[in-house]
Chain A
Amino acid sequence: MEEKYFEISGENLKSFIERIIADDFEVIAPIDKDGDTFYGKINRFEEANLDILLPKMSYKEYLLPKTETLFEYSFSGVNTDIKDGLESVAGANQKRVIFGGRPCDAGAGPIMEKVFNWDFKDEFFNERFKNLTIVSIACEKPDNYCFCTEMQLSPESSYGSDVLLKKAGDKYFAIVTGEKGLNLIKPYINLFKEITKDKVPAENDWKKLFEIEKTKSFLDKNFEHNYFQQRFLSCIGCGVCTYTCPTCHCFDIQDEGNLKEGRRIRNWDSCQFGIFTLHTSGHNPRVTQGDRYRQRLMHKFKIYSEKFDKYLCVGCGRCSRNCPEDIDIKEVAKDLADMA
């Protein structure tokens, strides 16, 4: 489907969100909680904080929950019963809307989708992704940690959004990118006014601080460069960069239970932890925090892009904003590009 363009007043946007909530959609939006902002379920339009640039965490957990049951097991005598965890995911809420996220967060979905469908298909991810409709809002003022433009997106990118809203005074322009977005707004189409593409203001000319291709070409040739060991001496390996990242998807598989019953779960994991790659023998391919931060950079800017084109980063800057040691990945990526 070709993109379609609409206008919607602020008042009608409020009606639209309240009507989809009334029609049993689960609407997830940035909400203020515990002195910060997180994605969470809203029951009224006013609960959504649409002014915040980025919530503390991305909405990754709606695609890849922090903990997810892969299956449950129980032993009875000589028999083992297994209950497939996929059944409950497949039967879950079919109507979930992420509202008020930003283009960076929206970009993360299709980027992760490639990993989860490379050869083996991870239907846990696919089922959740299929059931999400993404209504994002373009950014007017990115902050100093943002670098989506360098990551082949932009503050106004519609990549990964089903509907992208662009604020203009007290109204919004709505870019509907495909069937999923159109199906969402169709029953409420009287709230929207269809317009032609030329009525939508052209994108700003967002400036880039560096070329990510140059970062990659440095990484291509400099695995052993001492920059990695020097620059990340201060890294305490807390893993907050990976947990808050919308595209970091590495996971652990663990069993939880006893001799009678239990479940196998997958949990978010982090390449920043020493145990992540520790062999049974005691050997560890990645001994230092420099080795581990290098892996994160390699995965994002080289390894992923060689397999799937694009990069495993949307430039949201959460890893930098939340880093207790103030490691700014944008600065790091620029350093690498400058050395290329």
Chain B
Amino acid sequence: MENIYLPKLAEIKEIIQETADTKTIRLTIDGGGIDFLPGQFGEFSFMGEGESTFGLSSSPLRKEFFEFSFRYSGRATSGINSLNQGDKIAFRGPYGNYFDTSKMKGKNLVFVGGGIGMAPVKSIMEYCLDQRDDYGKITILYGARSVNDLLYKNIFDEWKKYKDTELIVTVDPGGETSDWTGKVGFVPTILEQLPLKGENSIAIVCGPPIMIKFALKSLEEKMGFDKADIITTLENRMKCGLGKCGRCNVGSVYVCKDGPVFTAKELESLPNDF
């Protein structure tokens, strides 16, 4: 008889301090990663401080570890933040649906991430980069409020080295530093300026709700993307991740079970409950 709320203990292999208040933590269970698909999430906790929900941010093809990125802001994340390399994190998952990569094969891909919303994008993006030959041109657009709020700076060069892959990094106006060489502008604005067309392309967009709203508009109205070819993830407060605790639903759809991955077309049919 299985207790579905019982976590596994995962060992912290590496902690990357991404920004002043965000970290990426790499974990292993029984010395390796776990089986999951890009887009899925888990429940993470330092026992005694409560669980938090985070998307998995590594490529599932990189089997030696699995990772997540988080901002510390409450009790549960402060608990996780207090841990060191070698400590244990309680983990449940993976849960939820995933990006349908069969639909993406052979297509041009544009990955759009905003702030910490880059974490789930990173998982599917690195998954595609790991099988680079299966896809057309890859464009990565990543934006944050300021240069100091950019995650994954240490691996930007790694992303760029793949063939036919372009990385554009932008910060909101006012968030640039004197030595900043990237773009300055909101993500949807920069997105519209890119020479991308909707034909034979798939867009993956994750970030704060306001960014998603305008990025979707840009992609659909200005760039000719079909709603079914724009994929995003929803975040709602969760407790169980198992479709029982009753709080993450958007209309009849449970983000933890039917999501978190949805196409813009699917979002269109949902009520304004997220």
Chain A residues engaging chain B, CB cutoff 8 angstroms:
70-71, 73, 75, 78, 80, 82, 84-86, 90, 115-116, 118-124, 127, 223-224, 249-255, 257-259, 262, 264, 266, 269, 271, 276-281, 283, 285-286, 291, 295, 298-299, 302-303, 306-307
Partner of B251, one of A70, A121, A303: A303
Q: List 25 A-B contacts (CB under 8 A).
A: A70-B3, A71-B5, A75-B47, A78-B86, A80-B9, A82-B6, A85-B3, A86-B1, A115-B243, A115-B244, A118-B257, A121-B4, A249-B244, A250-B247, A253-B240, A255-B49, A255-B51, A257-B47, A269-B247, A276-B237, A276-B247, A285-B236, A298-B251, A299-B246, A303-B251
B177 within 8 A of partner (CB): no
- Segment among B98-106, B217-225, B266-274 that sits at the interface with chain A: B266-274
Minimal beta-carbon separation of A210 from chain B (angstroms):
22
Nearest residue, chain A, Cβ from B74 = A280
Partner of A251, one of B2, B236, B244, B252: B244
Give every chain B residue within 8 A of A279 (Cβ-Cβ). Answer: 235-237
Q: Does B58 sit within 8 A of A, measured CB to CB?
A: no
Map CB proximity to A onto B176-218 as digits: 1 under 8 Å, 0 otherwise.
0000000000000000000000000000000011000000000
A262 touches B48 (CB 8 A): yes
CB contacts (< 8 Å) of A303 on chain B: these are 249, 251-252
Question: A75 vs B249: C-alpha distance in the bound complex, in angstroms?
Answer: 35
- A interface, over-half SS: mixed
Q: Which residues of B contact A82 (CB under 8 A)?
A: 6-7, 9
Bound Cα distance from A192 to B47, whole angstroms? 54
- Point out the residues of chain B lying under 8 angstroms from A254, CB to CB: 50
Q: Which of B9, B51, B257, B272 contacts A253 (CB 8 A)?
A: B51
Q: Identify A84's interface contact among B3, B236, B272, CB under 8 A.
A: B3
Which of B3, B239, B242, B274 has the most CB atoms of chain A within a 10 A radius of its CB?
A: B3
A-B pairs, 5 with minimum CB distance: A250-B246, A223-B271, A70-B5, A120-B242, A86-B3
Given contacts A86-B1, A122-B242, 14 further A-B contacts (CB under 8 A): A78-B86, A82-B7, A122-B4, A124-B3, A250-B246, A252-B239, A255-B50, A264-B5, A279-B235, A280-B77, A283-B209, A285-B274, A295-B273, A299-B246
Assess the B47–A73 pair: CB atoms within 8 A.
Answer: yes
Q: Give the docked Cα–Cα distance between A306 and B5 (Å).
A: 26
Within B71-129, the residues touching A (CB, 8 Å) are 71, 73-74, 77, 86, 88
Number of interface residues of B (CB under 8 A): 42
Contact of B237 among A257, A262, A277 (CB under 8 A): A277
Task: Given the known inter-chain contacts A115-B244, A280-B73, A298-B251, please indicate yes or no for A255 contacting B5, CB distance below 8 A.
Answer: no
Cβ of B250 within 8 Å of any chain A Cβ, yes or no, is yes
Question: Which residue numbers of B lie inside 8 Å of A, CB to CB?
Answer: 1-7, 9, 45, 47-51, 71, 73-74, 77, 86, 88, 208-209, 235-237, 239-240, 242-247, 249-252, 257, 271-274
Chain A residue contacts of B271, Cβ below 8 A: 223-224
Partner of B242, one of A119, A269, A280, A307: A119
Residues in B with CB closer than 8 Å to A257 are 47-48
- Assess A253 versus B237: contact at CB under 8 Å? Given A223-B272, A271-B247: no
Cross-interface CB contact of A118 among B9, B237, B244, B247, cutoff 8 Å:
B244
Residues of A within 8 A of B9 (CB): 80, 82
Residues of A within 8 A of B240 (CB): 251, 253
Q: Which residue of B lies closest to A252 (CB)?
A: B239
CA distance A124 to B240 in the complex (A): 14
Which single residue of chain A is at the shortest CB-CB distance from B237?
A: A277
Which residues on the B side are within 8 Å of A80 (C-beta)?
A: 9, 47, 88
Contact between chains at A120 and B250 (CB < 8 Å): no
- The distance from the CB of B7 to the nearest CB of chain A, in whole angstroms, is 8
Take A85-B3, A276-B247 as given contacts and tell me if A253 and B239 are in contact as well, using a CB distance cutoff of 8 Å. yes
| Closest Cβ neighbor of B5 among chain A residues | A70
Q: Roughly how many angstroms separate A124 CA and B257 CA in the complex, as a whole number?
A: 20
Asked, given contacts A119-B257, A251-B245, A280-B74, whether A84 binds B252 with beta carbons under 8 Å apart, the answer is: no
Contact in complex: A271, B3 (CB < 8 Å): no
